[in-house]
Chain A
Amino acid sequence: MLLSPYATLGDRLRIGVLIGWCALVLAFLVLPIFVPVPLSVNSEAFFTFPLAGFSWRWYEEVLGSDQWREAIWHSIVIAIGATVLATGLGTLAAIGLTNPRLPARRVIMGILISPLIVPVVITAVGAYLFYARFGLASTFSGIILAHTAVASPFVVVTVGASLANFDRALMNAASICGARPWTAFRRVMLPAILPGVLSGAAFAFVTSFDELVISLFLASADQRTLPMQMFTGLREHLSPAITAAATLMMSLSIVLLIVADRLAHRGRRD
């Protein structure tokens, strides 16, 4: 498509350079993400190419050991909790922030988005010191709350974007038709912004599921999450099991984002 059937030598050269450049970018920025995938099915305990042979043994180790299984379970529980909270709060915040009558909208938006901008170490230290006072350090609730803080901005942004195309007169119309605020939200606004809510929720889940720094500060051994398990695995005994765990995590994230995208598109067609 890039080249016309009558391309000159110059055109071919330019396209060639462009393709080469894109290949370099992909190679150095995206390819490293997929390096653990082949290693996870390596039959030998070496992090080297070429692979010695094919084997599921590292997956068996991850899914078979109590330590790994517990970490996966913790991560799922925390991610679901954070997703529910972040989606609820983020959606409410986005609705409020798109109300033209709300004063200081930009300032409030900035504050809500700040966990994305502030270095995560600072968020983690702050959360640890603050939550310790309320007995929330080393508890699932504490980790879920802190993850909610870093996951909500995604929901605020995606829901805010879908609200930008939502005609607020529809809410007045629903109200004068006799719908109470909750009914009007559920039957008129929610269907319109559902794509944004779903993709926000998917981002929130993935954010919490992959989160390491906050968990390191707030979680004790009883709440060890999957990223923490991988991190200690890397430090203590370098086992290819972490490549299997990484592949599993990556697959889950990709599947989630695809599902959210599909749902969003179906919502738009309706």
Chain B
Amino acid sequence: MPVQASETDALVRFVGVQKSYDGHTLAVRDLNLDVNRGEFLTLLGPSGSGKTTTLNMLAGFERPTRGEILLAGRPVDRLPPYQRDIGMVFQNYALFPHMSVAENVAFPLSVRRVARAEAEQRVKRALATVRLEAFGDRRPGQLSGGQQQRVALARALVFEPALVLMDEPLGALDKKLREHMQIEIKLLHEQLGLTVVYVTHDQSEALTMSDRVAVFHDGEVVQLGPPDTLYSRPRTPFVAGFIGENNLLPGRCETVEGAGATIRLQDGTMLHATPVGAVAPGARVVVAIRPEAIRLAETGDNVCRALVRSVIYLGDHQRLICDVANGATLTVKVPPGPGATAGETQALAWSAVDCLAFAADASTDATLNEEWNA
């Protein structure tokens, strides 16, 4: 075991981890995931995708049905949560309502029998880190949501754990406060050199904060990588649809030549696309095009004419909802200013590189349906 630990820089390793609550359906299918020291790793996925189950197994609240979790090279299957030395921030803060803010923060120290004087110093420091020095005597109920979340952070950090887990910690806050807290958490992560495993269903939060993101879907990690890779090179249509915005169009592959493919859409339109993974001629595919990759132009690898149904002004950019000949809708993101007006026909162009073609399967159909129903 020690040899293994020194071989890798992983603080946490999931090895073939499976979890089933009822013995039939798997909440987590076959998880193999390393969390590196000092890394900010986000588990991202829709509800029911297994991300929270994964976090709960790491915390020790749930036990894997199969497989092993290693913490600093040591298997933790038999280790209860209170012996794991992990800090955790919960979705609804989970502060102890009958204790003052300082008592809440001191709790992990007092159960560890840290001497009173030292504990006081560390509580003070932890509260200073989250800028709540003046609030030690208050009750959690007297604080705002953002302040309570900062107390929860201080409580998770006060005993200087190497690993901190966060379970949708900003879900209950309003948008402005959430963005502010994202930056604060990110700064704390850098200052204190923490390893953070963060769970969220908010893809923009995941992109903003993470070093790496693991995208969960149906109990599996469908893609693991840095935010920019997930955004620019999604490996499955689910990731393409879940991270950022994408126009998804069903079609069929006609030919594949090297790094390019031609795709026939349902109405017969031919597109030049970049195949992702194994795409064979004749196979059903889904084509994904980012709204910002589409230009208002007559020339390009792919050009089509579309009726601009509506123009949405968003300050720094405007968004065109366009009807294409085959009944599909394309969302186009263009710089503000005159360019298009609702009701007129426009030429849309995009390059083959920005047009990804994925092999379609049953789960893709589900993704497409969600897309259209939304």
Contacts and interface: CB of A to CB of B under 8 A. Distances in A.
Given A169-B90, A169-B92, A175 B98 contact: no
Interface residues of B, number: 26
Contacts of B92: 167, 169
A98 B96 CA distance: 19
A178 B97 contact: no
A90 B111 CA distance: 27
B59 A174 contact: no
A178 B159 CA distance: 10
A267 to B, nearest CB: 8
B127 interface: no
Contacts of A167: 92, 94
A192 interface: yes
Contacts of A170: 94, 96
B98 A173 contact: no
B60 interface: yes
A175 B87 CA distance: 10
Interface string A167-185: 1011011111111110110
A174 B90 CA distance: 11
B82 to A, nearest CB: 5
Contacts of A256: none
B98 A270 contact: yes
A188 interface: yes
A51 to B, nearest CB: 51
Contacts of B165: 176
A174 B88 contact: no
Nearest to A172: B61
A179 B84 contact: no
Contact of B90 (A173, A188, A270): A173
A191 interface: yes
A175 B90 contact: no
Nearest to A188: B96
Contacts of A172: 59, 61, 81, 90, 94
Interface residues of A, number: 20
B85 interface: yes
B335 interface: no
Interface in B61-106: 61, 80-88, 90, 92, 94-98
Given A176-B60, A180-B82, A192 B98 contact: yes
A42 B87 CA distance: 70
B237 interface: no
B108 interface: yes
Nearest to A194: B98
Q: Which of A167, A180, A183 has the most CB of B within 10 A?
A: A167
Contacts of A187: 96, 107, 111
Contacts of A188: 96
B176 interface: no
A175 B94 contact: no
B290 interface: no
Nearest to A168: B94
A173 B255 CA distance: 56
Contacts of A184: 82
A177 B85 CA distance: 8
14 contacts: A169-B92, A170-B94, A170-B96, A172-B81, A172-B94, A173-B90, A173-B94, A175-B80, A176-B60, A176-B61, A180-B111, A181-B82, A183-B111, A187-B96
Interface of B: 59-61, 80-88, 90, 92, 94-98, 107-108, 111-112, 155, 159, 165
Given A176-B60, A177-B108, 19 more contacts: A170-B94, A173-B88, A173-B95, A175-B80, A176-B61, A176-B81, A176-B86, A176-B165, A177-B82, A177-B107, A178-B85, A178-B111, A179-B107, A180-B111, A187-B96, A187-B111, A191-B98, A192-B98, A270-B98
Interface of A: 167, 169-170, 172-181, 183-184, 187-188, 191-192, 270
Q: Which 4 A-B pairs have the closest CB atoms?
A: A173-B94, A177-B108, A175-B81, A179-B111
